């Protein structure tokens, strides 16, 4: 698998556009692209992204930032080779507070980004999600599974926005011959996660580092699978450079219960926190584990960073910011 992108058709240096470039994953992707020889144009409106995630790129001649809502027309006067569409609220807190914006970025934003890809003859990668499987009735989740989603539930705005995005990407692929790639991202963690974004890793770490009770919803027997960000970004990079046009799960298949994870957080932080239980939110998935057979076969990818190793750097990041 190549470690650097082939030069774009317009220059000796590939040019990538990253929407959501100031977000947790978008900023890490931007760093990797710059390290591998790309020029990068980052787009973000800072609704959930943070300038702190990209401030270290100030003065980098290969990085240009545009503050813009991607649901508006995107005009760029340069050749573009790759578009990585990562713009979207991505946590329960966000899409409960921003349901309409979440739907708009998944629909109008994806439409604008695909329009740019069509105009520039660029390859397009959609950052989709394991949430398109909803509360799954198939375990582990394979890409052929169509999902079990409550369209009118509180999580429906995010789930359906991503499902629509996938359908729109494939429509552009079939009708306009746009080269499209779709990655379904499973639970990912690491530095640059927002402290209070509602996802289980920041929530547990914020509580543990303050020695506050760790809140587990339900009985804690629901499962999650945690992938360290560097593994995930490498998998996504390989997918963009591959010839695979169908959706690919990228995540860590090492599954554990939420209660087990809470105990691991207490151990890793040396916290004095106790575990408390609250009712399970509506439509919260009971099981989440990716089948990564497709990624192994087509991308020669699998995660390398074990949870204890990834938590060390993540905990250090959270300690500095609390």
Q: Give the number of other Cβ atoms within 10 Å of residue 93's Cβ.
A: 16
How far is CA 212 from its chain centroid?
A: 28
Which residues touch 72 (CB under 8 Å, ≥6 apart)?
112
The owner of tokens 């398109």 is: 132
276 neighbors 212 (Cβ within 8 angstroms): no
What are the φ and ψ backbone dihedral angles of 225, each rounded to 5 degrees?
A: -130, 125
Rg (CA), the chain: 19
Long-range interactions of 163-170: CB distance < 8 A, separation 24+ = 163/132, 164/106, 164/107, 164/110, 165/85, 165/106, 165/107, 165/110, 165/126, 165/128, 166/126, 166/128, 166/132, 166/247, 168/107, 168/110, 168/111, 168/114, 169/110, 169/114, 169/124, 169/126
Tokens of 81: 């080779």
**Conformational region of residue 211, where left means phi above 0, alpha means psi within -120 to 50, and beta covers everything else:** left
Question: Annotated catalytic sites, by residue?
Answer: 158
CA atoms within 13 A on the CB side of 144: 2
Provide the H-helix boundaries in 242-292. Answer: 258-269
Which residues touch 246 (CB under 8 Å, ≥6 apart)?
143, 182, 294
- Cα distance between residue 63 and residue 42, in whole Å: 7
How far is CA 176 from its chain centroid?
A: 26
């Amino acid at each position: 698998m190549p470690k650097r992108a082939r030069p774009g058709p317009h220059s000796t240096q590939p040019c990538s556009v990253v929407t959501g470039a100031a977000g947790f994953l978008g900023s890490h992707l931007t760093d990797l692209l710059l390290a591998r020889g790309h020029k990068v144009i980052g787009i973000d409106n800072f609704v959930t992204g943070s300038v702190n995630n990209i401030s270290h790129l100030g003065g980098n001649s290969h990085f240009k930032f545009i503050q813009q809502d991607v649901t508006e027309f995107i005009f760029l006067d340069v050749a573009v080779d790759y578009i990585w569409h990562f713009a979207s609220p991505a946590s329960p807190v966000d899409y409960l507070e921003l349901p309409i914006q979440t739907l708009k970025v998944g629909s109008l934003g994806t439409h604008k980004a695909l329009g740019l890809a069509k105009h520039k003859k660029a390859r397009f990668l959609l950052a989709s999600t394991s949430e398109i499987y909803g509360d799954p009735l198939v375990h582990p989740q394979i890409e052929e599974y169509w999902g079990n989603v409550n369209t009118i539930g509180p999580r429906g705005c995010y789930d359906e926005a991503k499902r629509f995005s996938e359908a729109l990407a494939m429509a552009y692929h079939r009708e306009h011959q746009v080269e499209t790639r779709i990655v379904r991202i499973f639970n990912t963690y690491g530095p640059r996660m927002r402290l209070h974004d509602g996802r289980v890793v920041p929530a547990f770490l914020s509580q543990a580092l303050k020695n506050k009770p760790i809140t587990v919803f339900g009985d804690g027997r629901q499962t999650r699978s945690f992938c360290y960000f560097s593994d995930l970004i490498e998998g996504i990079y390989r997918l963009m450079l591959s010839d695979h046009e169908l959706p690919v799960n990228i995540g860590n298949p090492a599954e554990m219960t939420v209660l087990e994870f809470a105990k691991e957080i207490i151990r890793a932080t040396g916290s004095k926190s106790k575990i408390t239980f609250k009712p399970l939110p509506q439509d919260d998935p009971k099981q989440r584990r990716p089948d990564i057979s497709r990624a192994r076969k087509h991308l020669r990818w699998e995660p390398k960073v074990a949870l204890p190793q990834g938590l060390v750097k993540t905990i250090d990041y959270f300690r500095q910011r609390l």
